[in-house]
Amino acid sequence: MRHKLVVAAFILGSAFSRGYAAESPQAANLSATDIVAKNVASRGGLTAWRKVQTLQFEGKLGAGGDKRGTLPSPEAAAVSRKISTPRRLAEEAELPFTMQLQRPRKTRLEVEFKGQNAIQVYDGTNGWKLRPFLNRLEVEPYSAQELKMASQQSDLDGPLVDYAAKGSRVESDGVEQVEGKPNYKLRVTTRSGQVTHVWIDSATFLESKIEGQPRELDGKMHPVEIYYRDYREVEGLKIPFILETRVLPPVDEKRASREPLFPPEKIEIERVTVNPKLDSARFSKPPVTDSVSRPKGM
């Protein structure tokens, strides 16, 4: 879910509270399998996540200001989580969004901007986008690159839940500090060979950070990190309500630090609905008229 929101669904693209415990030798010696098992249990358990067929998120995402780069593209993010947004708003704005997810890997994202809805839909095979804020009033298909990115996103439960059944492999890359707290660093390799790193808090066993898809800015590829904050319980599931994306300098640049190039991009989730009834048409090619109003068909 979180990876979809940031990595797999942001038209504007370019879209949790933890305790602390000192790292102990015992914790540092946990296997990757043990870490994943504790992570899944902390998030609500395997049985509970297997029952989730649909998810809906409502909230606001930060956009605008000449000091910012692009917003997170398609879950982030879940959120992926990559269509471009109004990138030169004079003032920073908070844009209302609704994201709907359905197994297997179906995504619909709507973002309200100046009274119109930008829409991005992926049905698991094909994708479409509608961008009225760019005066593009026709529904356009995903580009080949956007389709590739969408196809690489994890399902709504993320890359670790049922990872073996999904054909992925998880390995330990040791222990690292994330914002001053010890985290297990895991390397996830999907069936297709895509590699993603995930950091698991050693005290709560919840994800604290994930490696996002690199962004191309000014002809250079920039690493991306997505932080998960403000975990809350929703129907027995632990879900992050704040996602923060940081775009770093290119790996080939000699810099004194790996500080973000831009202020962090924040997504604030206000409401999560587990297993909402979603019309299958929500994940089909959207009609142009959908851009004039907020989403109705939940």
CA distance 298 to 18: 32
> What class is the 2-289 domain?
mainly beta
Domain ranges in the chain are 2-289
Q: Are the CB atoms for 212 and 199 separated by under 8 Å? A: no
Helix (H) / strand (E) element for 151: namely helix 144-151
Tens-level pLDDT at each residue, the chain (298 residues): 444 444 433 434 443 233 333 344 345 589 999 999 999 999 999 999 999 999 999 999 987 554 443 333 333 333 333 333 334 344 567 899 999 999 989 999 999 988 888 999 999 999 999 988 777 778 999 999 889 888 888 889 999 999 999 999 999 999 999 999 999 999 999 998 999 999 999 999 999 999 887 887 777 888 899 999 999 999 999 999 999 999 888 876 665 456 666 778 899 999 999 999 999 999 999 887 655 544 444 4
Residues 6+ away with beta carbon under 8 Å from 245:
6, 71, 72, 76, 212, 224, 225, 226, 227, 264, 265, 266, 267
| CA separation, residue 236 to residues 151, 160, 215, 252, 268 (Å) | 29, 18, 35, 43, 20
Q: Considering only CA atoms, which of 251, 260, 247 is closest in space to residue 215?
A: 247
